[in-house]
Amino acid sequence: MTPTNTPKNMEPISRQQLNAATADDLAEILRGPRERAAAWVRTAAEGGVVEAQAVFGQMLLDGQGLPVDREQAVYWFKRAADADHPMAMNMLGQCHHHGWGVPVNLVLATYWYRLAAQQGLDWGMYNYATALALGEGICADRPQALAWFEKAAALGHAKSINIIGGFHEDGWEVPVDKQQAFEHYRRAAEGGDFRGQFNYARLLIERGDIDAALPWLDRLPETATPAFLAKARAFLEQAADARVRAKAAELAARPATRGPAA
């Protein structure tokens, strides 16, 4: 696989321009129009700048400043991953997991997640732990999954913190401990994870602290996927407290502000 031609609307950037740019110049470029930023990032990527290769892969995957090209995204992620870039490794795992530019291959996805995890990337740890927990592309191993979730949580990874709360609530590999679950959900909620926000609100409702729960439910549409928001509403509609049921009706009128999750 080789790089594509420069899109017609992409301003060509020379190596000389790139080399002459200061750090402040580049920061300003990256804050500016996405088409111009993509042109500069591409030149840096083709010049062998590993970070630029990873960023350009993400731009191609997301269509930031240039047309979506998932096969080319894989090409650039692979170049950066071969140079030991942890997030590029993780994104290669995502591509193989979801079939972005390559066929779905859970074994390869887990391979790249593991390498990213071993490089110390929290998202790699989370994705590798999830594969271990579910037995996707690897034999299921919940004790190892919990260990990797805990490593990611120690780095402040909110989604991993929420998952650990689930381990404590359901007694997976640890004794059932609702207080530990409550504390983990609180930390995940404060860290911005929408599942953590819902779980924290859910346990607050169980404790009868409706006033504390409602503001967390208000935040769900900011980051939750439409599918998750629908499930949350269905759960809240069954609540005994009328204020919670009213909140479910409010959420029904507030669509999620983000698209379907990758």
On whether residue 97 sits in a domain, the answer given is no
Quick one: pLDDT at residue 256? 59
Does some domain include residue 194? Answer: yes
Q: What CATH number is given to the structural domain containing 238?
A: 1.25.40.10
CA 49 to CA 42: how far, in whole Å? 10
Give the mean pLDDT per block of 10 residues along the chain (262 residues).
Answer: 51 74 76 88 92 95 95 98 97 98 98 98 98 97 98 98 98 97 98 98 97 97 94 95 94 65 38
In this predicted structure, what is the pLDDT of residue 113? 98
- Structurally, the chain folds into a number of domains equal to 1
Residue 166 lies in a domain: yes
Is residue 241 a part of any domain in this protein? yes
CA dihedral 33, 39, 42, 43 (to 10 degrees): -130
Structural domain of 194:
156-262
Residue 151 lies in a domain: no
- Whether 236 is in a domain gets the answer yes
Residue 17 pLDDT: 79
In a domain, 205, yes or no: yes
- Side chain identity at 99, as an amino acid letter? G
- For residue 191, being part of any structural domain is answered with yes
Residue pair 220/254 in contact (Cβ under 8 Å)? The answer is no
pTM: 0.88
Of 98, 16, 4, 19, residue with least CA distance to 57:
4
